[in-house]
Chain A
Amino acid sequence: MSIITTISTWIIPLIILLVLLAGTIKKVPTYETFVEGGKEGVQMAISLLPFLLGMMVSIAIFRSSGAMEGFVEFLAPVLQTLGVPADIVPLAVVRPVSGTAALAVTTDLIKEFGPDSFIGNLASTMQGSTDTTLYILTVYFGAVGIRKMGDALKVGLLADLIGIIASIIVCTYVFGS
């Protein structure tokens, strides 16, 4: 455990050191290059804002109205027949849509069932093994101005489904139920 913590605290400063030293050795005007890149960063964040805001408001309406809970209740029996444990259903449904909501659900499950319980382990695995598709789609395509997304959303959501199923199978096998 301590090794992992050490690695994660050391890695970023070490990457920075490496980049700065390599830049200096290769005679790159480091500070000026950094500033130039930074300007791009500001622009990106600004152009990102409307995309993020629009999506987040929509998700917030869906969540606060209670529709998300209703949706989960509606889907629960379907997913249960597919072998998804009832307690994990909310997480499975929320994970691709909202990162903060998913983290809240995971925390709640860990608190409720204990981190070392089957549900706790399953929730942890599910949370760690996929990312929030809608957020990634919004941020990456929003920042560079892609309007026609093609199959991206379908591919992303199907990948989430595979991740959820994989988490359940792997956890059932490793931790037992």
Chain B
Amino acid sequence: MVNLIWVFLAATGIIYAMFNGTMQDVNEAIFNSADDAVMLAIGLISVLVFWIGMMKIAEEAGLLRGLSKLFRPLFKRIFPEVPPDHPAMGYILSNFSANLFGLGNAATPMGIKAMNEMKKLNNNSTEASRSMITFLALNTSSVTLIPTTVIAIRMQYDSVTPTAIVGTTIIATLISTIGALCIDRLFYYRRIWRNEK
């Protein structure tokens, strides 16, 4: 699926450019975006090193276990295949809390660690496990309490009420998260059903 999307984006782009006369733009974009990707990855090094280092201390100090205990009842239901005492649960929760407070920088490293732990739970298979897909669904619908970036943009353009959208954002994000989890379950049962056939 991701292979198809990848080729689709590039191939339609190039073919479109043939008729649209934008081949020069495409040429520039290829190398500029490759540059951007390297810059982005290098930029990620700083946050990844810092937060994964910090999280390692938190893990050794038992803070992650404490966090998982607090939210165990809810997340046990969302991630039935992750043992509640496993470090994966701690990372899932740290990622979730970081997203909640709009700390995207901190959320990504914790999310990657969570994925890593879930991969271990799945015998290091290169196939996405059920919990990984659920985790992804949770992240793409991103539960946010304070959309900091958006508020900043609104303030920049002299909004009278920059935080007016906080309420609507929370409601919309809650609906999309619940929806995402339902869809995730639906697809899971469909997989089981197919395997049984």
Contacts and interface: CB of A to CB of B under 8 A. Distances in A.
A149 to B, nearest CB: 5
Contacts of A111: 157
A19 B50 CA distance: 13
A23 to B, nearest CB: 4
Contact of B184 (A64, A106, A155): A155
A22 B63 contact: yes
A154 B5 CA distance: 12
Nearest to B146: A4
Contacts of A86: none
Contacts of B54: 15-16, 19, 34, 37
Interface in B61-88: 61-63
B14 A131 contact: no
B17 to A, nearest CB: 4
Contacts of B26: 61, 64-65
Nearest to A35: B53
A121 to B, nearest CB: 6
Interface size class of A (residues with CB under 8 A): 35 or more
Given A58-B10, A137-B136, A41 B51 contact: yes
Interface string B168-179: 110111011101
21 contacts: A4-B163, A7-B101, A7-B146, A11-B103, A19-B63, A45-B41, A55-B6, A60-B33, A61-B30, A64-B29, A65-B14, A110-B154, A125-B168, A128-B150, A129-B147, A131-B142, A146-B119, A147-B126, A159-B177, A159-B179, A162-B141
Given A37-B57, A141-B132, 11 more contacts: A4-B163, A26-B60, A41-B45, A41-B49, A60-B33, A61-B30, A65-B26, A67-B17, A115-B153, A121-B165, A134-B5
Interface of B: 1-2, 5-7, 9-10, 12-14, 16-17, 20, 22, 25-26, 28-30, 32-34, 36-38, 40-42, 44-45, 48-58, 60-63, 101-103, 106, 108-109, 111-112, 115-116, 119, 126-128, 132-133, 135-137, 139-142, 144, 146-151, 153-154, 157-165, 167-169, 171-173, 175-177, 179-180, 183-184, 187-188, 191
